[in-house]
């Protein structure tokens, strides 16, 4: 019932992929997801090369199942990171935030499966042309950095229908097994979940961050910093300041200066709920307690099976 | 396969409802949708009382199937409009843009089925408490006026799971039969579509408006005027002016003054693509040609059946 080109591509049991989120997705989270039958991803975005290598080595020790590394293509030390991936024999790489054409062939020639994250049909077609093995399409409701078109997951999947031949992985706003089945109906052969795993026990996010997620309600996130790089944040004190600046028409320079450096680390990893960025998706509103990765995976699979039986048996 | 509490409630063949959109949804569109097995809705929002009565009378002449009237509760002459509905024996009313508690009981006592349009779990619960027979939950991707929380259709439906006992009708971003089936999986027993019907042959929108929709691509709509009343518009010249004002931090007063009166009529009904508001949803990007209501309905039903068979037979 879960078999698809995505489960075949990665040799995994369930087509459930954990987003490679900065400050959340170390070896502990990635290996837990892979051990539970999904695909865990180490988020290289917040790691220096040495730390990335350490996480890959620990992940290999913690699981015998496939896992991946997410590589934002905009970082300066990208070629050093790729060297580490090849040296450590990483088999699957998810690229994001940049042009896949530059590295796709190189990675594939090294025997690596390459998946690129996009937020529009236009870039989905480019990723396909670049030779990617699959794409993640991420809608407006997703947490963290986000596309400029603001197209939602539901609309994106309909836009991609009959336009894309490589496997599609849906992301943004997915928090239940029902939603996984719904995305399948809409043509996605797999899903990528961020928020649920960011708030899980195995996430390396700070406990303060996780507890704020448990307490959050609908409408508590918003997409801001559109003049720089759109990002979905939970509405905390830092958010309120940014929002007010935006309402008042602040320039790019003012916003850049207010943002400064390291806000995501401060919020997510250090648990500074006042001054940090709290990156999370709209679906955070349904998360209300601490769960382990295996509990989350079991719930998703159970809900999926239940929805399937309810509607089709 | 299409039977649900929504088809039972309205005595219709397919749980496909046409949104009661201003300047698009006269008797011609509503009767065409009802004749094709869905539920057509006359949009009273843009009508004076006399014109509304005329449309109801013509709709009754044009179809023997059930139809509804959409009543925005914020209009001044609302009680006169309700009088007309009762006089003309309208059986189903969709209320929107206001508090349903004030009129729900009155309408129900008059033998009218009442459905309220909401954009959040919070207001869904209020509508249920007010005694509504069903709710429409409309996501961020919908065209025209929109909720403040910006929650997408996919997230809204998951938020409502196990929280709402009256029938749920999903709206916002639905443009294919696959999406209708996906919404069913997510707990919606019916769907409401705006954009596809706004661009249909029977819509009373101007041909200029319809042609602009056929040509539009992903990313061509945006939610603006958030300081007043958020509205999703196609990016035309008027939109660009509003957007620039917002980027520069324009006050509510400046925006109000720029907006003026009658922009929606100008854009949708009079076909002024420069100075008018072009209200349409994100899913407009998949609409690329003129179709009749019966062609649209047939395509939705065929796609739904195909998706069903593909995944469950």
**CB-based contact (8 Å) between A277 and chain B?**
no
**Closest in A223, A285, A311 to B185, CB measured:** A311
**Closest in A155, A172, A285 to B159, CB measured:** A285
Contact check, Cβ <8 Å, B154/A141? yes
| Distance from the B114 Cα atom to the nearest Cα atom in chain A, whole angstroms | 25
**CB-based contact (8 Å) between A139 and chain B?**
yes
Q: Is a pLDDT exceeding 90 seen at residue B1? A: no
**Closest in B174, B222, B285 to A150, CB measured:** B222
What is the reported pLDDT for B75? 79
Mean pLDDT, chain A, integer: 97
How confident is residue A184, by pLDDT bands cut at 50, 70 and 90?
very high
Contact check, Cβ <8 Å, B152/A173? yes
Among all residues of chain B, which has the CA nearest to that of A120? Answer: B218
Identify the residue among A2, A149, A188, A218 best suited for mutation to test binding to B, counting B beta carbons within 10 A and taking the highest.
A218
The stretch B98-120 carries a mean pLDDT of 95
**Residue B127: partners with Cβ closer than 8 Å, 6 or more residues away:** B100, B116, B118, B135
Over pLDDT 90: what percentage of chain A? 96
What is the reported pLDDT for A54? 98
The 10 Å Cβ neighbour count of residue B140 is 31
The stretch B12-39 carries a mean pLDDT of 98
The answer for A 54-113 residues in CB contact with B (under 8 A) is none
Q: Is a pLDDT exceeding 90 seen at residue B312? A: no
How confident is residue A76, by pLDDT bands cut at 50, 70 and 90?
confident
What is the reported pLDDT for B243? 98
**CB-based contact (8 Å) between B228 and chain A?**
no
CATH topology of domain A12-204+286-307: TIM Barrel (3.20.20)
Check: CB of residue B104 under 8 Å from CB of residue B134.
Answer: no
Rounded to whole angstroms, the Cα distance separating A191 from A185 reads 12
Q: Is a pLDDT exceeding 80 seen at residue B313? A: no
| Distance from the B284 Cα atom to the nearest Cα atom in chain A, whole angstroms | 10
The SS3 of residue A232 is strand
The SS3 of residue A92 is strand
The stretch B274-292 carries a mean pLDDT of 98
Check: CB of residue A236 under 8 Å from CB of residue A275.
Answer: no
DSSP letter string, chain B: ----HHHHHHT-SSSEEE---TTT-SHHHHHHHHHTTSBEEEEGGG--HHHHHHHHHHHHHH-SS-EEEEEETTSTTHHHHHHHHHHTT--EEEEESS-THHHHHHHHHTT-EEEEEESSHHHHHHHHHTT-SEEEEE-TTSSEE--SS---HHHHHHHHTTT--S-EEEESS--SHHHHHHHHHTT-SEEEE-HHHHTSTT--S-HHHHHHHHH--TT-EEEE-TTTS-EEEE-SHHHHHHHHHHHTT--HHHHHHHH-S-HHIIIIIS--TTTS--B--GGGGG--S---HHHHHHHHHHHHHHHHHHHH-
Measure the N-to-C terminal CA separation of chain A; round to a whole number of Å.
Answer: 13
The answer for B 103-132 residues in CB contact with A (under 8 A) is 120-122
User: Is the C-alpha dihedral spanning A123, A127, A129, A135 positive or negative?
Assistant: negative
Rounded to whole angstroms, the Cα distance separating A158 from A48 reads 38
Q: How far is CA B109 from CA A15, B88, B114, B129, B249, in A?
A: 50, 15, 11, 16, 48
**Closest in B152, B219, B283 to A282, CB measured:** B152
Q: How far is CA A278 from CA A47, A266, A297, B64, B300, in A?
A: 18, 9, 24, 55, 40
Contact check, Cβ <8 Å, B218/A121? yes
Contact check, Cβ <8 Å, B161/A178? yes
The stretch B280-288 carries a mean pLDDT of 98
Q: Which two tokens stand for residue B198?
A: 């706004």
How confident is residue A113, by pLDDT bands cut at 50, 70 and 90?
very high
Contact check, Cβ <8 Å, A154/B158? no
Instruction: Give the H or E element holding residue A233.
Output: strand A231-234
Domain B5-204+288-306: give its CATH superfamily.
Aldolase class I (3.20.20.70)
CB contacts of A187 in chain B (<8 Å) are: 178
Q: Is a pLDDT exceeding 80 seen at residue A313? A: no
ipTM: 0.98
The stretch B210-237 carries a mean pLDDT of 98
Q: Is a pLDDT exceeding 90 seen at residue B59? A: yes
| DSSP 8-class letter at A124 | H
**CB-based contact (8 Å) between A154 and chain B?**
yes
How confident is residue B196, by pLDDT bands cut at 50, 70 and 90?
very high
pLDDT in tens, A262-279: 999 999 999 999 999 999
Q: Is a pLDDT exceeding 80 seen at residue B122? A: yes
**CB-based contact (8 Å) between A303 and chain B?**
no
Domain ranges of chain A: 12-204+286-307, 211-284
pLDDT in tens, B226-269: 999 999 999 999 999 999 999 999 999 999 999 999 999 999 99
Half-sphere exposure of B255 (CA within 13 A, CB side): 22
């Amino acid at each position: 019932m879960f078999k698809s080109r995505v489960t075949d591509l990665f040799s995994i049991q369930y087509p459930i992929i954990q987003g490679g989120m900065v400050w959340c997705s170390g070896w502990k989270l990635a290996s837990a997801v892979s051990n539970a039958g999904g695909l865990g991803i180490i988020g290289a975005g917040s790691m220096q090369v040495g730390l990335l290598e350490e996480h890959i080595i620990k992940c290999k020790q913690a699981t015998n199942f496939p896992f991946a590394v997410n590589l934002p293509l905009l970082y300066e030390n990208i070629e050093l990171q790729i060297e580490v991936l090849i040296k450590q024999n990483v088999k699957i790489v998810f690229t994001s935030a940049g042009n896949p054409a530059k590295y796709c062939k190189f990675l594939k020639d090294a025997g690596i499966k390459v998946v690129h994250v996009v937020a529009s049909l236009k870039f989905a077609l480019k990723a396909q042309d670049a030779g990617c093995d699959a794409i993640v399409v991420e809608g407006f409701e997703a947490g963290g950095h986000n596309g400029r078109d603001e197209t939602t997951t539901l609309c994106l999947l309909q836009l991609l229908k009959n336009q894309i031949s490589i496997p599609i992985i849906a992301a943004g706003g997915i928090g239940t097994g029902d939603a996984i089945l719904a995305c399948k109906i809409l043509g996605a052969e797999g899903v990528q979940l961020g928020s649920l795993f960011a708030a899980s026990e195995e996430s390396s996010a700070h406990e303060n961050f996780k507890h704020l997620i448990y307490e959050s309600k609908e409408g508590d996130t918003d997409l801001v910093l559109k003049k720089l790089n759109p990002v979905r944040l939970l509405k905390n004190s830092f958010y309120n300041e940014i929002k007010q600046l935006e309402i008042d028409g602040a320039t790019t320079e003012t916003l850049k200066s207010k943002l400064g450096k390291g806000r995501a680390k401060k919020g997510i990893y250090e648990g500074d709920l006042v001054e940090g960025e709290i990156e999370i998706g709209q679906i955070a509103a349904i998360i209300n307690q601490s769960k382990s990765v295996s509990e989350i995976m079991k719930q998703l699979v159970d809900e999926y099976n239940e929805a399937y039986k309810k509607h089709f048996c």
